[in-house]
Every structure is written in C-alpha cells, then in structure tokens.
Amino acid sequence: MNSGSREALQVNQAAGLQNLFSAAQASHREELPIFHQAANLRPMVQHRRTTRTIAVAGGKGGVGKTTVAVNLAMTMAMAGRNVMLLDADMGVANIDVQLGLNPTRHLGHMLEGQCTLQDLIIPAAHGLKVIPGGSGVRRLAKMGNGEHAAVIRAFDDLIQPPEFLIVDTAAGVADNVAMFAAAADDVLIVVCDELASLTDAYALIKILAHDFGVRRFRIVANMVRQAADARKLYEKMARVCGRFLDVALDYMGMLPHDEWLRQAIRRQGAVVDLWPSSRAAVGFKQLAGAVDTWGEPAYPDLGRIAFFSGQNVPAAGW
C-alpha cells in the first residue's frame, strides 16, 4: 500500500474511532492487581544520576491532569525524592493556588529576562519545588514555539537539577502541549470514563507519535469506581492505538473518584499530604511506586528539544 492510500485508510478508520471507543468490545480478562508494582517507594539508597522528566497530559480538559501532577509530585517528595513540579498550563496555571503558594513571578518574567528559572522556584510542603506558570496573563497564553523551547532549554541552567521533574501540561493538542510532552522522558496520559476523554487522548497520542516520534505512553485511569473499569478504559485505548498507531501503551492502573480530592483543593493542599489514608492518596502512592520501577527511558536522545538535554550531573552530591 502506498503512503497516500495508507493515509486515506487511516482517516477513514479514524472516523470510526468514536464507535470503536463507545462499543464495549473488550473481552473481559482476569483483573490484574492494580498497580502491580510496589505500593510504597523503595528506600532511596541510590540517587538518580540524571533527571527523569514525566509529562502529565490527557488531551481533554478536566480529566485530572493537574490533580495527578500535583499529587504524584507530592507523594514522591514525601518519600524523600528531590522533585520539581512545572506548571506548563501557562496563562491559566493554577498549581500555585492548589498548593496555597503565592508566587510573585512566573515564566513570563523569565522570558522577558527579568529573572532566571532558578529565581522562579517556590518551595512547597515536603521539599517539593514548584515553578509557577502564571495565570491571567495574555502573553503567556499566546506564547510561540520559540518561547516554549526557551522554557524547556532553561532547565539546562538549573544549579541543582532535581531527580524528577513532573510537568503539568495544558488541555488540548496545541503545539505547547505537544512540545512539553515530547520534551519529557515519559508521557503519562490521564483518561477518565468519558468518550471525549478517550478520543482527545488518542488525538494527542497520534500527534506525539507522528510529529515527535514518541513511542511509549503510560495510561492512568482517573475518577473511576473500580479497577475493572480502569482496565476497560486502558484496553479501549490500547486496542485503538494498536490498530492505527505504532505506539506502546502501559497500564498504570486507577485513581479512584474520591471527594477528599475536592476537599484538599478547598484546603489548598495535596490530598496525599492532608489525608494520606484516603482512597485517592493510596492510589497516588501506588502510582508513585510504579513510577519508581520504570526502567531507563527508551528514547533518551532523538535530537528533539528535551528537558535537561545538556545535563551531565555527577551522581555524588545530590
């Protein structure tokens, strides 16, 4: 088949995606234990030599990207990891509000040369470091690719790179979302049990695969009631991506629907910190435990713009 007819076939197939997603065709398999990896982080005997960057994305708005980014980062910080959280939802960034922080500067100030990335770092609970994205500032929402690249490259100059950088991306499939996701070592896709969540996640995966060469995606199901529902969502994604895209999807389990999460936002804290025994907090601990077992990134050097691409940090001294 030539590339033109293959493309035409893909377009036709894509038109049927909604039906594919909405049809519950998955043959039901024996449920695997949720987050089969360790529920707790291993004791930190050996620090990472280089920074692992994890972009939290999802395509659709409101699926819980920020919630996942904040609580994953906080869980890892509570376990003693050196973690930085970048709010890349620029223009409508709200991690600082969710964590009760009061930044006076944001990435816009850095791009204007008024400060460095280092100056923007705000300490949150448990040693977590937050880089605020700025909210209600039009020029941030209208930033171009050159500016997004400048933000990514600025991480090369950090005095002390963290062990983990978690990046909260915006909704949609705009260039900024794709650039920040593609610049990370890992892309964690948050989906929930809504058709639009699945189709938007698919659209984002397709762009990242076709235009940026990203081949591996980790899927976490948020706001689900039980593990079987999470598994079904993953299987729908895996089936459609497996048919139309050359990508690998890893199942990262479920995060339950939990009212304590909303309470935590009202209290301007992370649920893992405020209510560590809540169902949501247990889910985040399991997710963090799973992240801790990930192997080295599969595509560390594709010649793309990447966070910490220039780093050469010795293991000692972290």
Ligand X SMILES: Nc1ncnc2c1ncn2[C@@H]1O[C@H](COP(=O)(O)OP(=O)(O)OP(=O)(O)O)[C@@H](O)[C@H]1O
Binding site for ligand X (CB under 6 A): 58, 61-67, 89, 171, 222-223, 255, 257-258, 261-262, 265, 280
Q: Which is nearer to ligand X, 14 or 203 (CB)?
A: 203
Residue 46's CB is within 10 A of a number of other CB atoms, namely 9
Q: Which is nearer to ligand X, 66 or 286 (CB)?
A: 66
Smallest distance, ligand X to C-beta of residue 168, A: 7
**Contact between residue 270 and residue 261 where contact means Cβ atoms under 8 Å apart:** no
For residue 274, with 0-12 CB atoms within 10 Å meaning exposed, 13-18 middle and 19 or more buried, which class applies?
middle
Smallest distance, ligand X to C-beta of residue 175, A: 16
Smallest distance, ligand X to C-beta of residue 150, A: 23
Q: Which is nearer to ligand X, 140 or 171 (CB)?
A: 171
How many angstroms separate the CA atoms of 259 and 193, rounded?
Answer: 17
Smallest distance, ligand X to C-beta of residue 267, A: 12
Q: Which is nearer to ligand X, 64 or 108 (CB)?
A: 64
Three-state secondary structure readout of 33-63: CCCCCCCCCCCCCCCCCCCEEEEEECCCCCC
Of the candidates 162, 187, 182, the one whose C-alpha atom is nearest the C-alpha of residue 55 is: 187
Smallest distance, ligand X to C-beta of residue 141, A: 13
Q: Which is nearer to ligand X, 20 or 191 (CB)?
A: 191
Q: Which is nearer to ligand X, 51 or 98 (CB)?
A: 98
Smallest distance, ligand X to C-beta of residue 69, A: 8
Q: Which is nearer to ligand X, 20 or 288 (CB)?
A: 288
Smallest distance, ligand X to C-beta of residue 5, A: 37
Q: Supply φ then ψ for residue 267, to 5 degrees.
A: -85, 0
Residue written as token pair 């050097």: 301
Strand ranges in 91-207 using DSSP code E only, listed in sequence order: 122-123, 129-131, 164-168, 186-191
Q: Which is nearer to ligand X, 82 or 197 (CB)?
A: 197
Q: Which residues pair with 189 in a beta bridge?
A: 57, 219
How many angstroms separate the CA atoms of 46 and 50, rounded?
Answer: 12
Smallest distance, ligand X to C-beta of residue 86, A: 14
How many angstroms separate the CA atoms of 95 and 49, rounded?
Answer: 27
Residue 165, CB half-sphere, CA atoms under 13 Å: how many? 27
How many angstroms separate the CA atoms of 175 and 205, rounded?
Answer: 13
Please give the C-alpha separations between residue 291 and each of 29, 174, 188, 307, in angstroms, as whole numbers: 24, 26, 10, 18
